[in-house]
Amino acid sequence: MSVKSIREALNEAMRDEMRRDPTVIIMGEDVAGGMGAGGEQDAWGGVMGVTKGLMPEFGRERVLDTPISESAFIGAAAGAAMTGLRPIAQLMFVDFFGVCGDQIINQLAKFRYMFGGKAKTPCVIRTLYGAGTRAASQHSQCVYPVFTHFPGLKVVIPSSAYEAKGLMTQAIRDDDPVIFFEHKAMFDETGEVPDEPYTIPFGVANLTREGKDVTVVAIGRMVGFANQAADALAKEGIECTVIDPRTTSPLDSETIIASVRKTGRLVVVDEASPRCGLASDISAIIAEDAFDALKAPIKRVTPPHSPVPFSPVLEDAYVPSVADIQESVRSVMGSGASARVLEGAD
């Protein structure tokens, strides 16, 4: 066990799996860096430095810098996965799924089903998501609801360094295609991480804290925000359970339902756009399966229905804040109280 950043945790997971399994390869734009250039090799290690050090250890045959041809190299990862390799392809920013969507959505996701169970496609697509870095409308989106929508893809969104390593190891060993989301504002966040390889199973949520009043489900970077909000609310006497689903496909709906059955209140915090997002999806599951347990209307905390703005003041107003979460929790507590009054009047 030692303290590691998310960047280091991810690097370690990939390094250990590449040592263990010679069929694991990495491909993407500047994942090593310096390809064909006269200066430093391994100059970048990917745009966030996550794969730095892997090319020197495993060589350019297993760490492939690619031309800027996402359709070709993401599609090649899918084809290689179907024929015996375990590629980890980096789609630099998830916003760029727009240029290679077919290879992910119509090819990679569907081989196993369309081919009657004959294909196995162990492929990981690592990708950056999220706002907060002044990267504007084409480099800040979440998009994970889109991938969650498509049957055949597994969708992983780690919220800490511990999760990052365990989920990445599982993603590489998993025989299904995995879209692995990394928040670009979180790489330097640190935590205790075991030095040896370990896996975290998909479809198992993590309760970061338990409290009797409100269930707060949060995704990715929002898990940290929700924990901060819960700390502050505890001082006001409101006790929150915070649930990090860790994977949105598969989704551990049982844990969420069980928690809402205890607390009777649900707030879902999602950095993705509000329409057809994870917050809506989880709200629908609760409305369907635990409606009778609800003491208050469900509350979703999301950005507004607009693209991500550039200007810092606008972007800060766009991203859900700790204060937004606190306010929503207070509001479900408020309407919860009035619901109890109504019950009493019955």
Partner 1 sequence: MKIDKQRLLDGYRTMRVIREFEERVHKEFMTGQIPGFVHLYAGEEASAAAVCQQLGEYDTVASTHRGHGHSIAKGCDVMGMMKEIYGREGGLCGGKGGSMHIADLDVGMLGANGIVGGGAPLVCGAALTAKTLKTGGLSVAFFGDGAFNQGTTLESMNFARVYDLPVLFVLEDNGYAESTASSWSIGGHDPVRRAEGFGIKGARVDGHDYFAVYRAAEEAVAAIRNGEGPRFIHIEFTRYYGHFEGDAATYKKPGEVQDERRYLDALKFFRARTTGGGMLKAEDLDAIDAEVDTLIDAAVREAKAAPPPALSTLTTDVYLSY
Question: Residue numbers of the site for partner 1 (CB under 8 A)?
Answer: 29-30, 33-41, 43-44, 47, 65, 67-72, 95-96, 98-99, 133-139, 304-307, 309-314, 317-318
Smaller CB separation from ligand TPP, 128 or 279: 128
Q: Is 139 a catalytic residue?
A: yes
> Judged by CB under 6 A, which stretch of 71-79, 91-99, 190-198, 335-343 contacts ligand TPP?
91-99
The residue type at 209: R
Contact string (CB under 6 A) for ligand TPP, positions 93-132, x = contact: ---x--x---------------------------------
Angle between helices 221-235 and 322-345 (to 10 degrees): 60
The entry of ligand TPP, partner 1, none near residue 72 (CB within 5 to 8 angstroms by kind) is partner 1
Q: How far is the CB of 290 from partner 1 (least distance, A)?
A: 32
Q: How far is the CB of 140 from ligand TPP (least distance, A)?
A: 12
Show the tokens assigned to 117: 């169970």
Smaller CB separation from partner 1, 185 or 293: 185
In whole angstroms, give the CA distance from residue 140 to residue 136.
6
Q: How far is the CB of 90 from partner 1 (least distance, A)?
A: 12
The residue type at 141: Q
Closest CA to 15 of 40, 61, 50: 50
In whole angstroms, give the CA distance from residue 95 to residue 47.
15
Element (H, E) at 71: helix 70-82
Determine the size of the site formed for ligand TPP (CB under 6 A).
6
Contact string (CB under 6 A) for ligand TPP, positions 63-82, x = contact: -----x-x------------
29 binds ligand TPP (CB under 6 A): yes
Q: How far is the CB of 135 from partner 1 (least distance, A)?
A: 6
Show the tokens assigned to 81: 């996965």
Residue at shortest CB range from ligand TPP: 96
Q: How far is the CB of 97 from partner 1 (least distance, A)?
A: 11
The most distant pair of C-alpha atoms in the chain lies apart, rounded to whole Å, by 80
Smaller CB separation from ligand TPP, 29 or 281: 29
342, exposed or middle or buried, with CB in 10 Å at 0-12, 13-18, 19+?
Answer: exposed
Q: What are the distances in angstroms from CA 164 to CA 171, 174, 213, 215, 291? A: 10, 15, 29, 23, 33
The residue type at 266: L
CB-CB neighbours of 341 under 10 Å? 8
Residues annotated catalytic, as ranges = 139
Which residues contact ligand TPP (rule: CB under 6 A)?
29, 68, 70, 92, 96, 99
